[in-house]
Every structure is written in C-alpha cells, then in structure tokens.
Structure 1
Amino acid sequence: MNTLGLRLFTRLARGLLGLVLLGNVAAAPVLQLVSTEYPPYCGSELPEQGVFTALTRAAFKAAGFETRVVFRPWARVLAEARAGQHDAVLAVWYQAEREQYMVYSDPLWVNRIGFYARAGETHPVHQLSALKGLRIGIVRGYANPLEFEAADLGGEAAVDDLTNLRKLQAGRLDLVLIEQALAAHLLKTQLREAAGQLVWLEPALASPPLYVTLTRGKPQYRKHLAAFNRGLAEIRRNGEYARIVQRLLGPLAAP
C-alpha cells in the first residue's frame, strides 16, 4: 500500500471508530413536562419559558435528563396528570387530594401572596381585621389564602389579576390580593403606565411553596423524583439557581 493509500485507510478507520463510539453513547432520556400559562414562572412565550421552567430544566439536566415542556389550560393539566400522560407537572401548590396521582418534589420556589395598593396610601396589612370595609380585589375561582378567608374580608371578584390592577389604578379598589411576581410582571408588560403608581405592601399574607410533581402513572416516577431533588440541590449549591433567577427576574430575589 502506498503512502496515499495508507493515509486514506487511516482516516477511514478513524471515522468508523468515531461512529462506533458515538453509537455506544446513550442519549440522555427525555422527560415530558406539562404546565399552564403562569407568568413570570411558566409561559410558552416567556424567555426560556419562564423562570420556574428554566429552573426545572436545569435541575433535571444536572441529574442527567433532558426535558420537553407542553402548555395546557390548568384543568386539562390536572386531567392529563391523573391519566399519567406526562412525567411531571410544573408549578403546583400542595393539596393533599392530589397525592392520589402525584408525588411532590422538594420545594423549588416560594410564592408571595399579598396586597398591592396605590403609591402613597398605607394600609395595615399585617392586621387583617383592620382591613374590613376596604374594597379588596380578588379573582373569581382562585383559592385565596386561608388567612384571608378566615378574616372574612369579602372581596370584589374580577375575571383576572390584570383587571384588578386596572381597577386599583382607577381608584375603584383600595387593595388587590395578588401574587407579587405576577403583579410585577403584569406591570412591566401589560400595564406599564401604572408601574410607578401601584406598589407592593409588606408583609406578604402567605408564602406557599411551588413544587414540581411527578405523576404516579409513570413506572419510573420514584426514580425521576429522586433525580430531580438531587439536581435541584446541585444547582442551588453551585449557584446556577441564583444565576437563572437573576437572568430572568432581575431584582426579584431568589427564595
């Protein structure tokens, strides 16, 4: 074999060896996740599909899994989770009855539910009994914090949070009960003219954790749960969690 032939043979052998090695490398398993539109946490049109989605992807990736996320209305999310159609559900509050078909991860995020008011107005939100008689905006169909319901403050129900913020801006409400980051997102994207007029009042009324849930209908749900919790601990430890939050939410601190 001449020199040219030897070179060609060597290149061919190396190429074949590379193909064999690539074939032996197993692709990372892909999990299908489902969520509803819940900005700024989850959303099909949000950067990186929202901060909660980005954190979930990072945690699973740290544990060796790739992910694909689909978005559905919330009622359909729960129905498909019961049927075992997805590996996991994103951004779920704890309810005991859901444990029949889901298992909860370690908490990934903490919501802050409380009150928005017009700038310059003060209300003693730390003492709910003092809020009686105020016009408080709530959303029809939402499960409000137990503390709010126990205080028997009533509330004026609207179709969504954006409507309540508009009514607050117009002086038709005194307070709006809302999730803090959701309100900030709406003021940044859909109600920019009111961004300096409406403010969050400390302290938060309730701080319910948000979870990823693994669906019991999938045979390996326990393995996936352990992997997710392991990956979540890793991205908290190595700083990736905080970097994702800063990148997507800016001044809102990571919980």
Structure 2
Amino acid sequence: MAGLNPLRLACRVWTLGLTLWATQAPAAEGPLRLCMAESAALPARVWQEAGLGEPAQRQLDVFTAALLARQAERPVQALVLPWRRCLLEVQNGRVDGVLGLSYTPERAEWAVFPLRQGRPDDALRLRRDAYHWYVNTTQPPRWDGARLQSDKPLRLGTVAGYSVVALLHQQGYELDTQTANSAATLRMLALGRLDAAALLPGEVEPWLAREPTWSRHIQRLDPPLEQRSYFLAFSQAYAQREPEQLARIWQALAVVRDSALQRRAEADAVGG
C-alpha cells in the first residue's frame, strides 16, 4: 500500500473524458479534478445513448461531469465525497473545484464563483433547487412558510456542510443531527429518529422514488424554506494556476445544463 495517494483511498474516483482532447483546446495542466456529493443513480442506457463510457458508479453528477469534459474538450476527474469532506478538499486546494455549490459570502472567501457585477451569474449556474422541510408523517409538525411549529420538542436534521445550516441557526432552530448525505438523513427520518429535516428535492425525490418504505413515512412541506442556484466553483489554487480556463469551463457547463442529454438524465434520475 506504500506510495498510494491517500485521497484515492478515502473516496471513489472515476476519471472521465481522458480521450476528449482536441487540437484547438487551450493548453491546461492535466485533468480537471472536481468533487461532488453522491447523486441519483442513472440507468446504463443513459450513458450508452450519450455515447459515453460507463463508469463504475452511474450517478447524475458524474454524468454531468462527463458531458462537461466533452463540451469543454478537457479531461475531468470526478471524485464523489461526503459533502463536508468535498468542501474541505476545495478549501485546501487538493481538488480543483466542486460541482453543485451555492453561493454565500463565506464560501466566496475560499471558492471562486462565476460573477457578474459582483453577484453570482445565474446564467452560468449548474441548476436551481430549493430547501424544503421533509417530515415524518407520524406526527408531522406544522409549517406556515415562516416557522416550523409543533406541540412537542422537534428533532431536526440536515446534511453537514449544507448552506441551510447557517439559515436555520439564524432562525433559532437547533439541529440534532448533521449527516454525511441525504440518504442517511432520510433513513433517520423514515425510522422516526428525526421529526423534520431541511433537504433538497433534487437529491431527495430520486431516493423516495426508489425506496417506497421511506416514502410511506416521509412528506415534503410547502412552500420551500429557501430557493438557491448551484454552481461549479473553483478552488483559489486552481483559479490562480489556470485563470484563463475559468470562463471557458463555466460557459461549457451552461451548454451542458441546457442540453437535451442533461435534461433527459435529470428526468431519469427522478424516475421520469
């Protein structure tokens, strides 16, 4: 085991698009290393229809990274990590960027977002999503769009590293649990170990479609807690090392986001 990269030992890594070089592509240093949270699984036919090599793990954001590699004519290395670990890797410059990060002023201190007139450029986003309360249906709390209410003390949770953590603290909520991913939170919610959790439908709904035993015990409350846009954000180290690449990759991601292949993959992810 001596000499092995500890990052490769700590996570699952797939290298995508390594044969997608073109002569007109600007020179760059090796593959673009992007970390991302675990996302919904896709059927093998989605990869086949896109003409992509099928990786060991057929996840939606890994698929997006593969499309990005082809569109940007740049090899991409996708690293699927627990969300908090992913953010730490970007902060420390051990990966080049993170796929699916919402903007906050605090994050902008260590991550480079696409900006327009000093604000996040929504035209270059990856996706939009909104935090919702998901509740256990046994004794669900009430939600009026402003405050979660119950006749008993509530056990609340979310995923560690989510931007909604700061919002919930500002609103006076105490979080009992911050898990590694949405699936772990949903499992606790379905088992009644949590009463409510602030989560993203884009991550939750595919799980509920595949896990009927969970969906029977879990309900989403409307309206949402907060709507947000999500971006590909680069580490400060990468932005300083390859500043000429940033705009080119963000533009390529916008093309991928609006492509028929990406939209079909997103529909397949939620069972559409």
TM-score w.r.t. the length of structure 2 is 0.63
Residue 206 of structure 1, aligned match among 215, 226, 243: 226
**Change in CA separation of 1:68 and 1:162 when aligned onto 2, cut-off 3 Å:** closer
Whether the aligned pair in 1 keeps the contact of 2:35 and 2:79 (CA below 8 Å) is: yes
Extract unaligned runs of 5+ from structure 2: 1-21, 43-54, 115-123
Residue 153 of structure 1, aligned match among 161, 169, 173: 173
- SS of corresponding position for 1:65: coil
Residue 243 of structure 1 pairs with residue 252 of structure 2: no
Q: CA deviation at 1:79?
A: 4.8
Whether the aligned pair in 1 keeps the contact of 2:155 and 2:195 (CA below 8 Å) is: yes
**Change in CA separation of 1:168 and 1:131 when aligned onto 2, cut-off 3 Å:** same
Give the counterpart letter for 1:31 in structure 2.
P
Q: 2:119: which partner in 1?
A: none
Q: How does 1:52-67 map to 2 (within 5 A)?
A: 52-67=61-76
What does the per-residue CA deviation read over 1:107-135, in whole Å, with 9 as the maximum and x for residues that have no partner? 21223221112458572241316457452
Whether the aligned pair in 2 keeps the contact of 1:113 and 1:179 (CA below 8 Å) is: yes
- Higher helix proportion, which one? 1
Whether the aligned pair in 2 keeps the contact of 1:101 and 1:215 (CA below 8 Å) is: yes
Aligned length: 223
Q: CA deviation at 1:83?
A: 5.1
Q: CA deviation at 1:33?
A: 1.9
Residue 34 of structure 1 pairs with residue 14 of structure 2: no
Give the counterpart letter for 2:99 in structure 1.
L
Whether the aligned pair in 2 keeps the contact of 1:93 and 1:209 (CA below 8 Å) is: yes
- SS of corresponding position for 2:263: helix
Residue 104 of structure 1 pairs with residue 96 of structure 2: no
For the aligned residues, what is the CA RMSD? 3.7
Residue 216 of structure 2, aligned match among 185, 190, 196: 196
Q: CA deviation at 1:205?
A: 0.7
Q: CA deviation at 1:198?
A: 1.6
Task: Give the distance between the partners of 1:236 and 1:46, measured in 2 at CA.
Answer: 21
Q: 1:18: which partner in 2?
A: none
Extract unaligned runs of 5+ from structure 1: 1-24
- SS of corresponding position for 1:116: strand
Q: CA deviation at 1:209?
A: 2.3
95-104 vs 208-217, which deviates more? 95-104
Task: Give the distance between the partners of 1:210 and 1:86, measured in 2 at CA.
Answer: 18
Whether the aligned pair in 2 keeps the contact of 1:114 and 1:201 (CA below 8 Å) is: yes
Q: 1:128: which partner in 2?
A: 147
Whether the aligned pair in 1 keeps the contact of 2:155 and 2:175 (CA below 8 Å) is: yes
Residue 187 of structure 1 pairs with residue 213 of structure 2: no
Residue 115 of structure 1, aligned match among 120, 123, 133: 133
Whether the aligned pair in 1 keeps the contact of 2:32 and 2:76 (CA below 8 Å) is: yes
- Between the aligned residues of both structures, percent identity stands at 16
Q: How does 1:87-102 map to 2 (within 5 A)?
A: 87-102=96-111
TM-score w.r.t. the length of structure 1 is 0.67
Task: Give the distance between the partners of 1:111 and 1:83, measured in 2 at CA.
Answer: 27
Task: Give the distance between the partners of 2:263 and 2:183, measured in 1 at CA.
Answer: 28
